[in-house]
Amino acid sequence: MRNKVILSLCIILQISLLCGCWSKKELDEISILSGIGIDNTDDDKLLLTMQVILHREMKIESQSGKRGEERPTQNVEVIGDSLIDANRNFILQTGRRGYWSHVSVIVIGEELAKKGISPILDVLERDNEIRQRTLVLVAKGEAKEILMGETIDLEVIQAYNIKDMIRIAHNDGKSVKVDLRNYFLMSSKESYSSFIPGINIIQTNGSRNGNIELKDTGIFKENKLVGWFNETETRGLLWILDDIQSCITEVNYPKEKCNSVFIEVLRSRTKVEPVIKNNTLEKIVLNVSASGKIAQSNEYVDITKTKVISEIGKATEEVITKKMIGTIKKGKSLNVDIFGFGEAIYKKNPKLWKEMEEYWEDIFLSIPVEVNVNMEIKRTGLISKSKKDKGM
Amino acid sequence: MLEDGKIPYRCVIGIIITTIAPTAILYLPTITYKEARQDGWISVFITTFVGLLVVYVITGLGTMYKDKTIIEYSADIIGKVPGKILGFLYCVHFIYINAFILREFAELLAGAFMVETPMLFFIIGIILPSIYGVYKGLEVIIRVNQMIFPIFMISILAILLYSVKDMDFTNILPIMENGIEPILLGGYRNLLWFTEVIVLAMFIPYINRPDKVRKLSMIAIIIIGLLGMLINATIVATFGVNTEYLTYPYLSLARYVSVGFIERLDSIIMFMWIGGVFIKIAVFHYCATLAIGQWLEIKKFKFLSIPIGILLVILSYVLWDNLTMVKYQITYVAIVPFVIMQGVIPVLLFILTKIKKILFKKTKKPKNI
């Protein structure tokens, strides 16, 4: 009997523990954020644009099966001295705490990026709600406009649209993809430089706030935006960093015909090889080996001849080499080593790197870079030769 | 003999791994990285051999004194009074190290998961089942571990497997950048964990086949060594230079995982942490209770688990102000007495018994003739 009393007491006591956690967060006390835009104001404060998911709208949508006029998101703009402060000021406008765990993109305004983003980086790494997989972008203009911009309505939440854009564009070799972990890793490596994909807003007819598009790559040195890489240079950067998943390369074949053959790169591998002789750095060699297929061809290309195919391969190699060298030139003109050359030297010969680390900026400008590309055309698609037009 | 149950010898592998691994996985990589940089895995490799040596010594002592724990046979080896002093030191050691473990456990939960919850709540929450488990005996703890251990291992390996695609193993280059010294220093920081096999010195009398223990515990240490090397290399490959700044690199790794719909694996860490550390705390709690029971020569010693539990709660809450202090102490201060208690003293005892044996034989032989 006594045992039973004790047992039932234990069970009753446990019930009081079962009703929930201490640090619980109920859905009606928080607002889930999907994207963040960070700008700076004229008086050196931060302007946070926080995209809130309105679960009420989402619910109506899924019940009725059709979409209303409005997006199920709303942008809230708050000003604060720091990221944390602005986040707390969010409560003053909404009466809820912002919940950062589902933030998928962080867009940084151009002005802020030029001034330097070090102050906001610490919070982004320290806070336990923020995921390291959150993508980072830099706006060409103001970040708040980007979050208001429009795209085709495949994904109802704008920030998730941007996330998909980056992901697929990166797979196609059109844009770099940088999340918080990548950024922290890049910016703390030997050269202290990093890059972030750029995003732009274009005014078109029929859209209120303009459409967004991924454009260029922002180049950062010591967490400050120092310049932009255009589309070709972005592609070159991806080639150098061995980050090409797949991409289309245009080739002139025969030489006088401009952009007449298109090669889809299927596989590629780039190796950065510093050549060190007698304890001095002689040059840096980039070895690229890639394979691809013909995606579009013209009537002059007779694929039945193996010689022609190898000639196209040679022509592709030239194009890729040109792109990479152009990118390196641009990098040298900005004096940022985002290509990981310094890192490659450190990994190969740490002692030599220690000696040259101090003067690396000067060495980087003068070091010759050699690019060797080996391209193999492996497949030619479903037809062999292009059909001739009658008139020609 | 105070404990009545006998433990099947096969459980030794599991209990040793869950006694060492949980806190090692979460806290060690950063500590090792601070010393050995990207060569942390070599440090773990070296320490594994020291761990094997300690296992050899402890099981050697255990087979020589088959039904005695270290508290009892230390008196046999070095005499009654010094043996009692040493026994007392071991009682203090088991309580003090457990206070560290408790605090580390609560710091992670309060720091990374439930920020608003007071830490005392977690400490009391884990010590209550631990008191109960110790009260019920060693066999209960080990049976619970048989349930927790497989899930523990699977979740660790799953996180490693899922994060493969984000790794860049060139990050562990260059190897041996600053020579061997930082690596050895990193290995020394690891020693605190690898010598925690000292709990075997309390367990061996209760295992049904003490002769099998040496082989199995060596396997356990090798598994922990491999796991440690793998985790160190993985974390450096994923976070590179940033490893130094991460408080819980393995947690960061789990949070970073994203394979298809498999995302946000913090909950696995949560399970692994609560399950694994519960066993770890219970094992050390049991060792402390048994040690004090044997030191005072009390027959019914298990009620001691309650006062020791209360003492543990107070100590773990009062001794340190914050995580920085805890980490500083396990890295630089407390590691010295811990390694002495867990590693150096067993080795000395072992050497002493060996010398005694040789001397004994020499003096005995003429008598026999």
Number of other residues whose CB lies within 10 A of the CB of residue A115: 15
Q: B256 and A348 in contact by Cβ < 8 A?
A: no
Q: A350 and B174 in contact by Cβ < 8 A?
A: yes
pLDDT at B177 over 90: no
Angle (CA) B187 B59 B129, round 5°: 80
Structure tokens at B111: 């720091």
Which residue in B112, B116, B173 is closest to A347 by CB distance?
A: B173
DSSP A235-277: HHHHHHTT--SSEEEEE-SSTTSTT-EEEEEEEEEEEEEEEEE
Q: Which residues of B touch A349 (CB under 8 A)?
A: 174
> Which range has the worst mean pLDDT, A22-26, B206-210, B231-235?
A22-26
Which whole number is the average pLDDT over B317-331? 88
DSSP A321-372: HHHHHHHHHHHHHHT--TTSHHHHHHHH-HHHHHHHSTTHHHHHHH--EEEE
Q: What are phi and psi of A344, to 5 degrees?
A: -60, -40
Structure tokens at B262: 């498999």
pTM of the shown model: 0.85
Distance from CA of B26 to the nearest CA of A (A): 16
Convert the pLDDT of each residue in A175-220 to its tens digit: 888 988 888 888 887 767 889 999 888 877 666 677 888 888 899 8
The residue of A184, A187, A354, A355 whose CB has the most chain B CBs within 10 angstroms, and thus the best one to mutate to test that interface, is A184
pLDDT at B63 over 90: no
Q: Tell whether B247 is within 8 A of chain A (Cβ).
A: no
Which residue in B170, B174, B256 is closest to A181 by CB distance?
A: B256
Q: How far apart are CA A260 and CA A271, in angstroms?
A: 29
* Percent of chain B predicted with pLDDT > 90: 25
Number of other residues whose CB lies within 10 A of the CB of residue A308: 18
Q: A188 and B242 in contact by Cβ < 8 A?
A: yes
Question: B258: nearest CA in chain A?
Answer: A133
Q: Tell whether B111 is within 8 A of chain A (Cβ).
A: yes
Which residue in B238, B240, B252 is closest to A189 by CB distance?
A: B240
- Phi/psi zone of residue A21: left (φ > 0), alpha (ψ -120 to 50 degrees), beta? beta
3-class SS string, A278-309: CCEEEEEEEEEEEEEEEEECCCCCCCCCHHHH
pLDDT of residue B277: 92
Q: How far apart are CA A161 and CA A152, in angstroms?
A: 9
Q: B174 and A181 in contact by Cβ < 8 A?
A: no
Q: Which residues of A touch B113 (CB under 8 A)?
A: 23, 128
pLDDT of residue B94: 92
Dihedral over alpha carbons B166, B169, B174, B180 (to 10 degrees): 100
Q: Give the C-alpha distances (Å, rounded to integers) separating B266 from A99, B211, B271.
A: 17, 40, 9
Q: Which residues of B touch A132 (CB under 8 A)?
A: 252, 255-256
Q: Tell whether B208 is within 8 A of chain A (Cβ).
A: no
Convert the pLDDT of each residue in B326-365 to its tens digit: 888 888 888 899 999 888 999 998 998 888 888 877 665 5
Which whole number is the average pLDDT over B79-92? 89
Question: B114: nearest CA in chain A?
Answer: A23
What's the distance, CA B81 to chain centroid? 29
Q: B245 and A125 in contact by Cβ < 8 A?
A: yes
Which whole number is the average pLDDT over B260-284? 87
Contact indicator for A338, A219 with CB cutoff of 8 Å: yes
Q: Give the C-alpha distances (Å, rounded to integers) separating A16 from A6, A9, A10, A21, B100.
A: 16, 11, 10, 11, 29
Q: How confident is the model at residue B369 (pLDDT cuts 50, 70, 90)?
A: very low
Which whole number is the average pLDDT over A349-365? 85
Structure tokens at A124: 């982004």
Long-range CB contact pairs, B331-339, < 8 A, 24+:
B331/B31, B331/B34, B331/B189, B334/B96, B334/B100, B335/B188, B335/B189, B335/B191, B335/B192, B337/B93, B338/B93, B338/B97, B338/B192, B338/B195, B339/B188, B339/B191, B339/B192, B339/B195
Largest distance between two CA atoms of chain B: 80
Convert the pLDDT of each residue in A315-348 to its tens digit: 888 888 888 888 888 888 888 888 888 888 888 8
Convert the pLDDT of each residue in A121-172 to its tens digit: 888 888 888 888 899 999 988 888 888 877 766 677 888 888 888 888 888 8
Question: Counting Cβ atoms within 10 Å, is residue A69 exposed (0-12), middle (13-18) or buried (19+)?
Answer: exposed
Cα–Cα nearest to B174, from A193, A273, A345: A345
Q: Please state, rounded to an integer, the average pLDDT across all residues of chain B.
A: 87
What's the distance, CA B362 to chain centroid? 39
The residue of B170, B172, B242 whose CB has the most chain A CBs within 10 angstroms, and thus the best one to mutate to test that interface, is B242
Q: How far apart are CA A233 and CA A176, in angstroms?
A: 11
* Percent of chain B predicted with pLDDT > 70: 96
pLDDT of residue A106: 92
Question: A180: nearest CA in chain B?
Answer: B256
The residue of B173, B238, B253, B262 whose CB has the most chain A CBs within 10 angstroms, and thus the best one to mutate to test that interface, is B173
Convert the pLDDT of each residue in A230-278 to its tens digit: 888 888 888 888 888 888 888 877 766 666 788 888 888 888 888 888 8
Contact indicator for A236, A243 with CB cutoff of 8 Å: no
Structure tokens at B1: 């003999």
pLDDT of residue A167: 87
pLDDT at B2 over 60: no
Interface of A with B in 332-351 (CB under 8 A): 346-350
Q: Please state, rounded to an integer, the average pLDDT across all residues of chain A.
A: 83
Contact indicator for A223, A118 with CB cutoff of 8 Å: yes
Q: Tell whether B252 is within 8 A of chain A (Cβ).
A: yes
Contact indicator for B119, A135 with CB cutoff of 8 Å: no
Convert the pLDDT of each residue in A30-80 to its tens digit: 888 989 999 988 888 888 889 888 877 666 655 655 555 567 888 889 998
pLDDT at B186 over 50: yes
Q: Reduced to 3 states, what is the DSSP secondary structure of residue B8? A: coil
Q: Give the C-alpha distances (Å, rounded to integers) separating A328 from A72, A209, A216, A238, B132.
A: 44, 36, 16, 12, 67
Q: Tell whether A99 is within 8 A of chain B (Cβ).
A: no
Q: How confident is the model at residue B1 (pLDDT cuts 50, 70, 90)?
A: very low
pLDDT of residue B49: 92
Q: Which residues of B touch A184 (CB under 8 A)?
A: 242
Q: How far apart are CA A268 and CA A246, in angstroms?
A: 8
Q: Which residues of A touch B173 (CB under 8 A)?
A: 347
Q: Which residues of B touch A125 (CB under 8 A)?
A: 245
Q: Tell whether A125 is within 8 A of chain B (Cβ).
A: yes
The residue of A132, A135, A170, A177 whose CB has the most chain B CBs within 10 angstroms, and thus the best one to mutate to test that interface, is A132
- Residues near A44 by Cβ (< 8 Å), separated by ≥ 6? none
Q: A185 and B174 in contact by Cβ < 8 A?
A: no
> Which secondary-structure segment (H or E) carries A36?
strand A30-40
Q: Tell whether B244 is within 8 A of chain A (Cβ).
A: no
Can you tell me the ipTM of this complex?
0.79
